[in-house]
Amino acid sequence: MSGSVLVIDQGTTSTRAIVFGPDALPTATAQEEFPQLFPQSGWVEHDPKDLWRTSLSTARIALQRAAAAGTTIAALGITNQRETILIWDRKTGEPIHNAIVWQDRRTASICATLKAEGCEPLVQQRSGLLLDPYFSATKIAWMLDHVDGAREKAERGDLAFGTVDTFLLWRLTNGAVHATDATNASRTALFDIHKGRWDADLLKLFRVPRPLLPEVKDCAAEFGIAAPEHLGLSLPIRGIAGDQQAALIGQACFAPGMVKSTFGTGCFVLLNTGPKPIASTHRLLSTIAYQLKGHRHYALEGSIFSAGATVQWLRDGLGIVRSSAETGQLAEKSDQEQAVYIVPAFVGLGAPTWDADARGTITGLTRATTRFEIARAALESVAYQTRDLIDAMQKDVQQSGVSLDKSVIRADGGMSASDWTMQSVADMIDAPVDRPIVRETTALGAGYLAGLQSGLYPSPEEFAATWHLETRFEPAMAPARRDAKLKGWHEAVARTVLKP
């Protein structure tokens, strides 16, 4: 079979659509940003109309550009911002509330109460996750409790829940399919990652009615047909994965021990642990990496909530840079002797700290501090947090039989375009960072899944051979300087999480 695949990559701040050819290289692309909504401090929402509108508009543009080059599209793949939730009416298809975004912290008190009641061990054992507002379950309960009549409708089966992939799938198929894949299901805190099914005890704990939930499928599967009125042609939907797992696939990290780090709005480090999950004892997450032909592979994950979001804050909040690219240029000119640290806890801290109540701090300021040092501190915060995750992963895998291969840390995402940032990460983790030729690895992963299901692309092992290095960043920082900078970072974090 020949042809190309279209991917809708629905992210936190923008939506992309990319066409990948028979050689799995991008041939057409489109991208559109959309508004971020902040109804209250710590709350983050998206208008579902924006998610749908930008998915259609970018997909149509990419298809037009591909058609102009004579490209035939065989299948559609979807990848999405994970943990973000929507609930909609099954009859009308209309959402009952704005989407609550993964960054949202409105359910922090609910999580704290459940933790105090001793519920976290059950959640961690079944779902591989921790009790944190980051995950979908408490968001679902909040929406059902705060929209008039929603809980009663949900119990009757009149409402449908979905992460963004499920919402797009429902819309594209005109309500014919209510489904998700195993990776997205594994991020809800409602899914037993060992048995591969929704868990009755977790549903009861979080007060989520079973009729709300979608069917769970493999990542490469027959998900339904996109109706022709949406994209101009009937298109089989054959691949779905949450964005970070899609990036792991796109980076061809199929061997246990391989690591990828995606530097986007947040930063997410995933370590492939193979066919058996590793229960973290260092506040990391066990999650499904991918599921193919009914066989699950797992990953350890560390989640950083603010990476590119910190740079976006410099641009849109403080106005000290005009573009993201300018940040590295400022950092290059900064006074290296100033020990300025930004702990970007704008929506709390993720792994391995997991403090939903923490808020951002800047330490080490003097009268000599300028926007140059602030820019450097913003970029370095990503490197420091990545080092914390790698250290936690190494501790978790010591007794597991899986060795973390620090020679294969593959970087992708928007921030990976910054040479200064990637060098900073390599220096701080004291290991090489590899940046591939194809940097849109999230979309590539979903495209590979759709192409695999369509017979366009080869087995994972053969696909891995097509991965090509663009740049390797070797660590160049003296150990004593690295240790001193890390010491200052951990002191800054301690001040951030210190309770009055």
**Residue 406 confidence (pLDDT):** 55
Structural domains of the chain, count:
1
202: amino acid identity, one letter: L
Q: Residue 233 has which token pair?
A: 């042609």
Rounded distance, CA 457 to CA 373, Å? 46
Residue 466 burial (CB < 10 Å; 0-12/13-18/19+)?
middle
198, 250 in Cβ contact below 8 A?
no
**pLDDT score of 440:** 86
Within a domain: residue 278? no
Give the domain extent around 204: 4-244
- List all residues 6 or more positions away from 321 whose beta carbon is below 8 Å from its beta carbon: 311, 314, 315, 327, 330, 371, 375
pLDDT for position 407: 56
Q: Tell me if the bond preceding 133 is cis, omega within 30° of 0.
A: no
Identify the pLDDT of residue 474. Answer: 93
Handedness of CA 475, 478, 483, 486 (dihedral sign): negative
3-state secondary structure the chain: CCCEEEEEEECCCEEEEEEECCCCCEEEEEEEECCCECCCCCCCEECHHHHHHHHHHHHHHHHHHHHHCCCCEEEEEEEECCCCEEEEECCCCCECCCEECCCCCCCHHHHHHHHHCCCHHHHHHHHCCCCCCCCHHHHHHHHHHHCCCHHHHHHHCCEEEEEHHHHHHHHHCCCCCCEEEHHHHCCCCCEECCCCEECHHHHHHHCCCHHHCCEEECCEEEEEEECHHHHCCCEEEEEEEEHHHHHHHHCCCCCCCCEEEEECCCEEEEEEEECCCCCCCCCCEEEEEEEECCEEEEEEEEEECCCHHHHHHHHHHHCCCCCHHHHHHHHHCCCCCCCCEEECCECEECCCCCECCCCCEEECCCCCCCHHHHHHHHHHHHHHHHHHHHHHHHHHHCCCCCCCCCCCEEEECHHHHCHHHHHHHHHHHCCCEEEECCCCHHHHHHHHHHHHHHCCCCCHHHHHCCCCEEEEECCCCCHHHHHHHHHHHHHHHHHHHCCC
**23 falls within a domain:** yes
286 forms beta bridges with 300
Closest CA to 174 of 252, 90, 255: 90
Q: What is the CATH number of the domain that holds 86?
A: 3.30.420.40
| Among candidate residues 116, 108, 125, 113, the one with its CA nearest the CA of residue 40 | 108
Torsion of CA 119, 120, 121, 126, to 10 degrees: 100
Residue 187 is given by DSSP the state T
Inside any domain, residue 228: yes
Q: Is the Cα torsion angle 107, 112, 113, 118 positive or negative in sign?
A: positive
Pairing mode of beta strands 73-80, 45-46? unpaired
In sequence order, what are the beta bridge partners of 45? 37, 100
Residue 306 has a pLDDT of 84
User: 222 lies in a domain?
Assistant: yes
Q: Which residues of the chain have pLDDT under 50?
A: none
* Residue 439 belongs to some domain of the structure: no
Residue 200 domain-assigned (yes or no): yes
**H or E element at residue 191:** strand 191-192
Q: Is residue 61 part of a domain?
A: yes
H/E element, 238: strand 235-242
Largest Cα–Cα distance of the chain, in whole Å? 65
Rounded to whole angstroms, how far apart are CA atoms 5 and 65?
13
Specify the pTM.
Answer: 0.88
Q: What is the pLDDT of residue 444?
A: 95
Domain presence at residue 300: no
Answer for the pair 50, 14: CB distance below 8 angstroms, yes or no: no
Helix axes 441-454, 243-250, angle to 10 degrees: 80
Give the pLDDT of residue 402: 66
Strands (E), 377-499: 409-412, 433-436, 469-473
